[in-house]
A and B are shown apart, each in its own frame.
Chain A
């Protein structure tokens, strides 16, 4: 993958995965969930998490059959170069589309809330410079940056939640079934794409300690699920249904409403690092992973020449939507809805191919 094989610990893997999955919760994604489940929307991330866990187990089953190889290499071995090219393009699309729309969202957010007179291109540039640098330095730089910042992220997020307790209203949970059992379930099944980022596990698998992929995957998804759930429940508790559905950035509004006496107001700046760090880590991971997929696809040993290429793709993707609502809807339609099922389908095909070819599939965590 590069001149040196990166080394990654379990905690770094978990941190990277859970931030990569859950960073989107600080953007507009939550709004779509709130529309689907109405006042019972908090059930949706729980169902999503369970589905995400199943996806991780499936992915780990594929990976464990081929120790030391990532998902692209495994696909090449099991499905052949032509079919694997399609699979790899899907992986690349997940990373590039995710990074592109995230870049657009987070830039729009900065312009909307903090720097209204700054051109969005300038904001985008400042995000890209940081993330491209980290991605270029490689997986170790990305994962250690994430590990270093995770304390800030977790503490700030929990503080954000705790400081809004005076605004919570318990009646929001009623009527208990919200939009109705089927509508909530449909909402959950059509937003499983929120967990398509488990794909990252397939890219970083060779660099994880042997036999720890399941641990990293399961904990990454569970922690992401925890943050997903509380950041759907808390805006619901504060802003209640249906008002909560009118917000484009519920977590931002959460920080704006905090009021601790005359001097404890306008706290959004204190919580700015949550959005900036989480999304910058997301971007850096996406750029790295996208470059890694391309490097594997082109059978090159070094991912770095592709970082700039992926950055260009990402920037193009960021500016394809004509406006911020279109970016939200496109991201929801193309990534959050059904992409997870495509990933599951690929995993099933790979497992089936492994079974037919008699390779992998039935091995345990240690690949024996």
Chain B
């Protein structure tokens, strides 16, 4: 019994040895909730950290609105000039009394300017660092990331980390926010036959975006070009397409929706469809995928891909502005065809954009690789070069399943 006790005591003692070196109290850490990257002014990079003030979060912000800078809010900002992203962590320890820790980081924000030069060298290698998590989001912002993070204060949340997380979770409720986390962004960056799309974000633009009130599809907006007043300073809408670690263009909100649909990440969207019989009026329908797009790829005689895509959608009539009776079974096809035309236009524009950028962000190459027997054969085909010249035909099939709470519209008198 004495021996057993001695062994147990020895084991317990040994297991506690780690505490002699890696003793770490959560309230002695500076939790970095977001990191911003800009082109440096005095060094290679300007790195900005959003650091939580836990006692303010626990106390509900002390009645103050969440604020950055030196304000009495729930986070503060530090920007420093550094040669690399991770060297910033050590520099931060000279400024912040608590040890900086990235393991709660939700956002890696990169300025568009830097993204267009290429961010592969900054973000790819960070996966090696144990504090970093692939579940973080890479966000591309218009303007400088340091301004974006400093002014991007939450309104509903005391915890800015929760704010970042919930804002990105919007991908479930709107087609306008890309789904890809760092994990998917990184995979798509490394794989042939697909290109990544990162969320595009910006601060609220105060001045008007458009000069007139002509109809504009809501999906034509993107971050930084969203006409609005009020709300938080940050808006996330649209995407930044990447190729070989470099941002090559932006996608508007509708194009992001199409991209998500091709990957099966589109839950539902609301479409404003021009009324085919009443110009100037809209039919508003709810649209959700019936099945993942069926993609058929073959290699033509000219060695170029010939791709046909079949998109199946279904949904509900939400509103008919004109009061036209489209709800009856014999009239529903008119409405369905109008939706199909509108959606097809969105898809064709997105496909054209993808080919113009030479970035297969729709992932059509992932279907094409099924045609090849071995990986070396697939690599040798050189999809990225052939994709811009591919022939792509898309067909859309939309079915109205429900008509909402109104059985038949009574026209206005």
Binding site for B on A (CB under 8 A): 38-39, 112-119, 122-123, 125-126, 129-130, 133, 167, 171, 174-180, 239-243, 246, 253, 256-257, 259, 262, 265-266
Whole-angstrom CA separation of A325 from B53 in the bound complex: 39
Would you give the shortest CB distance from A259 to chain B, in whole angstroms? 5
Assess whether B372 is interfacial by the CB under 8 Å rule.
Answer: yes
**Could you tell me if B10 and A39 are in contact, using CB atoms closer than 8 angstroms?**
no
Would you give the shortest CB distance from A325 to chain B, in whole angstroms? 12
Report, nearest first, the 8 A-B pairs whose CB atoms are least far apart.
A118-B21, A115-B22, A175-B372, A171-B366, A126-B14, A174-B370, A180-B374, A243-B190
Given A167-B183, A240-B191, 10 additional A-B pairs, CB 8 A: A125-B14, A129-B10, A174-B369, A176-B373, A178-B375, A240-B187, A243-B190, A253-B134, A257-B133, A262-B165
Whole-angstrom CA separation of A133 from B10 in the bound complex: 10
Whole-angstrom CA separation of A116 from B162 in the bound complex: 28
Whole-angstrom CA separation of A178 from B373 in the bound complex: 7
Would you give the shortest CB distance from A38 to chain B, in whole angstroms? 5
Whole-angstrom CA separation of A123 from B187 in the bound complex: 33
Whole-angstrom CA separation of A178 from B187 in the bound complex: 18
Which B115-172 residues have a C-beta within 8 angstroms of A? 127, 130, 133-135, 162, 165
User: A113 — which chain B residues lie within 8 A by C-beta?
Assistant: 130
Assess whether B393 is interfacial by the CB under 8 Å rule.
Answer: no
The chain A residue with its CB closest to the CB of B16 is A126
Could you show 12 A-B contacts with beta carbons less than 8 Å apart?
Answer: A38-B375, A113-B130, A118-B22, A119-B21, A175-B372, A175-B375, A179-B374, A180-B376, A242-B190, A246-B127, A257-B183, A266-B133
User: B165 — which chain A residues lie within 8 A by C-beta?
Assistant: 262
User: B366 — which chain A residues lie within 8 A by C-beta?
Assistant: 171
Assess whether B299 is interfacial by the CB under 8 Å rule.
Answer: no
**Could you tell me if A177 and B191 are in contact, using CB atoms closer than 8 angstroms?**
no
User: A115 — which chain B residues lie within 8 A by C-beta?
Assistant: 18, 21-22
Whole-angstrom CA separation of A122 from B18 in the bound complex: 8
Whole-angstrom CA separation of A86 from B209 in the bound complex: 83
**Could you tell me if B375 and A118 are in contact, using CB atoms closer than 8 angstroms?**
no
Which B174-191 residues have a C-beta within 8 angstroms of A? 183, 186-187, 190-191
Would you give the shortest CB distance from B384 to chain A, in whole angstroms? 15
Would you give the shortest CB distance from B297 to chain A, in whole angstroms? 11
Whole-angstrom CA separation of A171 from B133 in the bound complex: 24
Assess whether B377 is interfacial by the CB under 8 Å rule.
Answer: yes
Assess whether B103 is interfacial by the CB under 8 Å rule.
Answer: yes
Would you give the shortest CB distance from B376 to chain A, in whole angstroms? 7
Would you give the shortest CB distance from A185 to chain B, in whole angstroms? 13
**Could you tell me if B11 and A129 are in contact, using CB atoms closer than 8 angstroms?**
yes
Assess whether B17 is interfacial by the CB under 8 Å rule.
Answer: yes
Whole-angstrom CA separation of A125 from B10 in the bound complex: 11
Cβ 8 A contact of B17, one of A116, A126, A171: A126
User: B190 — which chain A residues lie within 8 A by C-beta?
Assistant: 240, 242-243, 246
Assess whether B96 is interfacial by the CB under 8 Å rule.
Answer: no
User: B374 — which chain A residues lie within 8 A by C-beta?
Assistant: 175, 177-180
User: A117 — which chain B residues lie within 8 A by C-beta?
Assistant: 21-22
User: A114 — which chain B residues lie within 8 A by C-beta?
Assistant: 22
Would you give the shortest CB distance from A52 to chain B, in whole angstroms? 26
Whole-angstrom CA separation of A133 from B12 in the bound complex: 13
User: B191 — which chain A residues lie within 8 A by C-beta?
Assistant: 240-243
User: B367 — which chain A residues lie within 8 A by C-beta?
Assistant: 171
The chain A residue with its CB closest to the CB of B194 is A171
- Which of the listed residues A174, A176, A179 has the most CB atoms from chain B within 10 Å of its own CB? A174
**Could you tell me if B135 and A265 are in contact, using CB atoms closer than 8 angstroms?**
yes
Q: A180-B374, A242-B190 are in contact. Are A129 and B14 (CB under 8 A)?
A: yes
Whole-angstrom CA separation of A133 from B11 in the bound complex: 9
**Could you tell me if B133 and A256 are in contact, using CB atoms closer than 8 angstroms?**
yes
Assess whether B378 is interfacial by the CB under 8 Å rule.
Answer: yes
Would you give the shortest CB distance from A35 to chain B, in whole angstroms? 12
User: A178 — which chain B residues lie within 8 A by C-beta?
Assistant: 374-375
**Could you tell me if A133 and B21 are in contact, using CB atoms closer than 8 angstroms?**
no
Whole-angstrom CA separation of A265 from B373 in the bound complex: 38
User: A171 — which chain B residues lie within 8 A by C-beta?
Assistant: 366-367, 369-370
- Which of the listed residues A113, A125, A167 has the most CB atoms from chain B within 10 Å of its own CB? A167
Assess whether B412 is interfacial by the CB under 8 Å rule.
Answer: no
Assess whether B405 is interfacial by the CB under 8 Å rule.
Answer: no
